[in-house]
Structure formats: structure tokens, C-alpha cells
């Protein structure tokens, strides 16, 4: 017999209402911990961030543990099995991106501050705030009703922002404890203000660092310029040669596996109420750019890209210096679309770099991380359940979108379990993720919590 959870839901919603301030306070505690995964100096803070969320899961009565890895620990928790109801795995990450440039923050990145109805802090939306929506809804069910409509498992990691290497290994070697009927992730955005969305596609990524070395020491550019290759000049030329004027990436085999977008999908994307003028205004730009022949949303979500993330070489200080630097380098990545294989991209890239490398330069390419893109089927009844939950919490039906970002573990999960993945982003495009003044609006936070509370009841109808 399936249960109708209506009266329990009313109790849960009352708990959510009366705990709004408390939810925000505890969220701020977590945001104070600078759990930056890319810099080894913050290793102890990653541990503290893991302990903090472990404590929350234990306090709500779940059986929870920290699982050590060669990197930051995983945090895992589960509730008791529920007969005839599915098992739902919630994934999220407690690590955050570096906060640089610190001086551009209006309030310091690790001193969470509520301003104009939004929480400002590194990790506010990506992903501490969004992940907490599922913990708080779970807490409400457990405190008010004493049990959950579905069995929940939580898997929370601390190196998503650097490629999820150790979680991927864990999934590969010991997937059994994580077995589930569906995966829920809130680590993305809505389509716009007051327009919730369900995301059915993420891009992949292939990330690199390129180092060029020339003469054995810095040289006077007057005495030596014109006789030896300047690594900074070489770097500029090489990087510029990786993409042409039409936005096509110039690497052998790069587009080989790329499937053309179907006319149906192009039509669906074109029907989304996207306001290009507003997009430009919000970014302080007067024109967009990108691959020829594609609309803005197609270029943003469903076509591959090349972007440089950092460049160095030569004099960066005040004033001028006529130096011919001994070294130059760059960090860059390609965003990938379904069927592109990061390992193949690396092969093609190495070949292309070989061709482009001028005499007098020693080149080293480091492969930082790679993850393929994913598409998740939208026909699943689990997706329908998520639609109903969002409709009830937001008062508006979600639209279906793709996103340009990457969540490395999704592809590995799909491979391990082949279960539906619900990508339910509660953030907004102007939340400044990975940038100064990252924020998450309190209204979105609380609506996310309510949608999550409905979701557990809706998913209970699945089996
Ligand atoms: N939450 C993002 C992924 C995301 C961004 C999803 C935008 C949807 C829309 C995630 O934390 C992230 O930033 N991932 C990295 C992964 C990479 C470093 C391996 C990314 O996309 O750059
Ligand atoms: Mn994230
Ligand atoms: Mn991120």
C-alpha cells in the first residue's frame, strides 16, 4: 500500500518555516571554513568542513561516517531502508574554489554576510548552500515525522572543484554501498529568476597546464631579442593557434565524436524564453562571441570550447622591464560535449602542440583532469516526480535546460549504476560562482529546501 504523505508534508513545511533563521545560521558556520581544495595549505580546513557536515548528519539521526581517501575525506550517511520505496542518493561537495582576488570582495569571502536578501561567501551557492537544502529538508522529515518517505543516502566529497579523482577511484572499486535507484544533485542554476529548471546535460572538461622554457636565464631583450625564441611570444602564438576566427578548435580529431545537435533539440532550446540583451547587460558587454553557426544557448551548453584560465611569463610588476623571459606558461581547458573522450583530446592536443612548438623552446604539457560530458534521459518517471516537487515549491513548472559546467562524478555514476540523475540547480546565473562576491539568494535557498522536502514524498510514489 502506498502512503499519501499530505498531512506529514504539512508538518514538515511548518518545521521549515519556523527554522528559516536557524538554517541560515548553521549554513554560515559551514561557510566560515575555507575548504579550498586546489591549495594544499587548506588541507586541515577540508577536514574541518567534512567534520562539520558529518556532525549535522549525525545530529539528525542518520548513521554517518567519514571515509578517508588519499585526498580529502568522503562523508557518507544513510537512513534506514523503506519497504517498497526507492533509494535516493544525494551527492554534493564541501570544497570550494580559491577566493582570489580577495580585494574584489565587498565582504571577506569566509566571513559570510547577508546583504540585500542574499548570503555572500565563497561556497554560498557552489555547493554548500545548495547541498544543505537537502540536509535541512531531511532534518525536517526526521524531526517532525520521525521517518522518511524514501531511503536516503548522502555522499559528500571534498575535491569536486579539482576533478573528483579519489571519489572516482572509490566508485570504481567499491560501488556497492552507493547502490541506488536515482541520484539527486543540486549544484547548478535555475533558468532565470522565478524560472526553475531541470538540467539534462552537463559539459565535460579537459584541463591542462602548458610550460614553455627558452634560454637558461632571463635575457636583456635589446641584447638578445631577435636571435632567440621568446617563450612568452611562443606561448601567445601557440595558444592563439588552438582556435580559429570562427571559434573552431584546431586540434586533430577534436570534432570527430561530436554529434550534431538534432533539429528537435535546437528547436526546444530556441523556445526557451532567453533574453540576450539582458544576458549582455548583466555581464557589462555589448556583444557576444563564439562558434559560428550556433545560437548563444547552443554555444553555452552544447558546443565545445577553449578557454585560457591563467597566463604567466615575463614581468608582471609596476612599470616596465625589457626582459626576454626564460619561461612562460598557461592553464587552459576545453569544455567537451557528449561522446568526446578527454584522453583522445589529450592525444590530439599533444600532436598539435608538437607541430606548433618553435625551435629553441622546450615544452611540457601537464594533464590536470578530464571528465566526459553527460546527457540524462528526461523521459524517466523520476524526472516527472522532480517536476511535481518543483512545481509545488516554486509555484511554477520547471523548464528543461542543459548547463555548460561540469560535475566530474556524474559520468562515473552513470557508468557504475545507470540510474536516472536529477540535476536540480537552485542557483542563478548572477550568483558569481568561482568569482568574487559569490552569493546565494535566501529566497532560492528556502525554496530549494521546500522543493527537496516535496521531492522525498514524490519519489516515494515511484515503485
Ligand atoms: N557546480 C559546478 C558545476 C556547474 C557549473 C554546473 C555551472 C552547472 C552550471 C561545479 O562545482 C564546478 O565548478 N565544476 C568544475 C569542474 C572542474 C573543475 C573539473 C567546472 O565546471 O569547472
Ligand atoms: Mn559545484
Ligand atoms: Mn564549482
Quote the mean pLDDT of the chain.
Answer: 97
The mean per-residue pLDDT over the stretch 212-234 comes to 98
Please report which confidence band the pLDDT of residue 2 belongs to, taking 50, 70 and 90 as the band edges. Answer: low
Nearest ligand to the CA of 403 is 1
pLDDT at residue number 4: 87
The Cα–Cα gap between 74 and 80 comes to 20
Instruction: Assess whether the C-beta atom of 190 lies below 6 angstroms from ligand 1.
Output: no
For ligand 1, atom 4, which residue shows the shortest CA distance? 405
For ligand 1, atom 1, which residue shows the shortest CA distance? 187
330, 331, 361, 367: which is closest to 348 by C-alpha?
Answer: 367
269, exposed or middle or buried, with CB in 10 Å at 0-12, 13-18, 19+?
buried
The mean per-residue pLDDT over the stretch 4-32 comes to 97
Task: Please identify, by atom number, the ligand 1 atom nearest to the C-alpha of residue 199.
Answer: 8
Instruction: Assess whether the C-beta atom of 157 lies below 6 angstroms from ligand 1.
Output: no
pLDDT > 70: percent of the chain: 99
* Pocket probe mutation, ligand 1, options 35, 94, 161, 163, max atoms within 8 Å of Cβ: 161
The Cα–Cα gap between 60 and 48 comes to 19
pLDDT tens figures, 180-221: 999 999 999 999 999 999 999 999 999 999 999 999 999 999
pLDDT at residue number 122: 98
For ligand 1, atom 20, which residue shows the shortest CA distance? 406
The Cα–Cα gap between 215 and 219 comes to 8
pLDDT tens figures, 156-171: 999 999 999 999 999 9
The Cα–Cα gap between 462 and 78 comes to 19
Phi/psi class of residue 61: alpha, beta or left (left: φ > 0; alpha: ψ in -120 to 50)? left
The mean per-residue pLDDT over the stretch 121-126 comes to 98
432 has pLDDT over 70? yes
pLDDT tens figures, 88-117: 999 999 999 999 999 999 999 999 999 999
Task: Please identify, by atom number, the ligand 1 atom nearest to the C-alpha of residue 161.
Answer: 18
pTM, 2 dp? 0.96
Q: Are residues 5 and 149 in contact, defined by beta-carbon separation less than 8 angstroms?
A: yes
Nearest ligand to the CA of 438 is 3
pLDDT at residue number 113: 98
The mean per-residue pLDDT over the stretch 314-330 comes to 98
pLDDT tens figures, 248-270: 999 999 999 999 999 999 999 99
pLDDT > 90: percent of the chain: 98
The Cα–Cα gap between 173 and 167 comes to 10
Reading the block at residue 392, the C-alpha cell is: 509545488
Instruction: Assess whether the C-beta atom of 133 lies below 6 angstroms from ligand 1.
Output: no
1 has pLDDT over 60? no
pLDDT at residue number 39: 96
The mean per-residue pLDDT over the stretch 438-442 comes to 98
The mean per-residue pLDDT over the stretch 72-76 comes to 98
35 has pLDDT over 50? yes
b/e map 67-81, b = 16+ CB within 10 Å: beeebbbbbbbbbee
pLDDT tens figures, 376-401: 999 999 999 999 999 999 999 999 99
* Pocket probe mutation, ligand 1, options 160, 208, 305, max atoms within 8 Å of Cβ: 160
Amino acid at each position: 500500500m502506498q502512503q499519501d504523505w499530505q498531512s506529514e508534508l504539512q508538518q514538515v513545511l511548518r518545521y521549515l518555516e519556523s527554522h528559516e533563521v536557524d538554517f541560515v545560521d548553521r549554513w554560515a558556520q559551514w561557510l566560515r571554513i575555507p575548504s579550498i581544495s586546489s591549495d594544499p595549505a587548506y588541507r586541515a580546513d577540508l577536514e574541518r568542513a567534512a567534520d562539520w557536515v558529518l556532525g549535522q548528519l549525525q545530529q539528525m539521526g542518520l548513521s554517518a561516517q567519514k571515509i578517508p581517501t588519499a585526498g580529502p575525506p568522503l562523508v557518507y550517511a544513510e537512513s534506514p531502508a523503506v519497504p517498497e520505496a526507492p533509494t535516493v542518493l544525494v551527492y554534493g561537495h564541501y570544497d570550494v574554489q580559491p577566493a582570489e582576488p580577495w580585494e574584489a570582495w565587498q565582504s571577506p569571502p569566509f566571513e559570510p554576510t547577508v546583504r540585500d536578501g542574499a548570503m555572500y561567501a565563497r561556497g554560498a551557492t557552489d555547493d554548500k548552500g545548495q547541498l544543505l537544502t537537502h540536509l535541512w529538508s531531511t532534518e525536517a522529515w526526521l524531526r517532525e515525522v520521525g521517518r522518511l518517505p524514501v531511503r536516503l543516502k548522502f555522499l559528500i566529497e571534498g575535491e569536486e572543484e579539482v576533478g573528483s579523482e579519489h571519489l572516482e577511484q572509490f566508485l570504481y572499486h567499491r560501488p556497492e554501498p552507493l547502490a541506488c535507484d536515482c541520484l539527486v544533485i543540486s549544484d547548478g542554476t535555475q533558468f532565470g529568476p522565478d524560472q526553475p529548471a531541470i538540467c539534462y546535460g552537463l559539459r565535460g572538461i579537459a584541463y591542462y597546464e602548458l610550460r614553455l622554457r627558452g634560454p637558461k636565464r632571463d635575457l636583456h631583450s635589446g641584447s638578445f631579442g631577435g636571435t632567440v625564441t621568446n617563450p612568452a611570444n611562443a606561448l601567445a602564438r601557440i595558444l592563439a593557434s588552438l582556435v580559429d576566427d570562427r571559434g573552431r578548435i584546431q586540434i586533430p580529431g577534436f570534432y570527430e565524436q561530436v554529434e550534431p545537435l538534432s533539429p528537435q533539440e535546437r528547436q526546444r532550446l530556441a523556445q526557451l524564453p532567453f533574453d540576450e540583451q539582458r544576458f549582455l547587460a548583466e555581464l557589462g558587454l555589448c556583444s557576444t562571441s563564439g562558434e559560428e553557426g550556433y545560437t548563444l544557448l547552443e554555444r553555452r551548453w552544447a558546443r565545445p570550447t577553449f578557454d585560457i584560465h591563467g597566463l604567466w611569463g615575463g614581468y608582471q610588476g609596476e612599470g616596465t622591464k625589457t626582459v626576454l623571459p626564460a619561461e612562460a606558461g598557461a592553464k587552459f581547458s576545453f569544455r567537451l560535449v557528449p561522446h568526446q573522450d578527454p584522453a583522445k583530446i589529450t592525444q590530439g592536443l599533444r600532436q598539435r602542440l608538437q607541430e606548433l612548438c618553435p625551435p629553441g623552446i622546450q615544452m611540457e604539457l601537464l594533464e590536470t583532469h578530464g571528465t566526459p560530458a553527460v546527457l540524462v534521459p528526461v523521459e524517466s518517471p523520476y524526472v516527472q516526480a522532480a517536476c511535481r516537487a518543483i512545481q509545488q515549491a516554486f509555484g511554477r513548472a520547471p523548464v528543461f535546460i542543459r548547463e555548460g559546467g561540469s560535475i566530474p562524478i556524474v559520468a562515473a555514476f552513470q557508468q557504475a549504476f545507470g540510474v536516472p540523475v536529477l540535476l536540480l540547480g537552485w542557483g542563478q546565473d548572477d550568483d558569481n560562482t568561482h568569482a568574487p562576491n559569490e552569493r546565494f539568494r535566501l529566497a532560492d535557498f528556502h525554496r530549494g529546501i521546500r522543493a527537496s522536502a516535496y521531492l522525498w514524498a514524490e519519489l516515494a510514489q515511484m515503485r
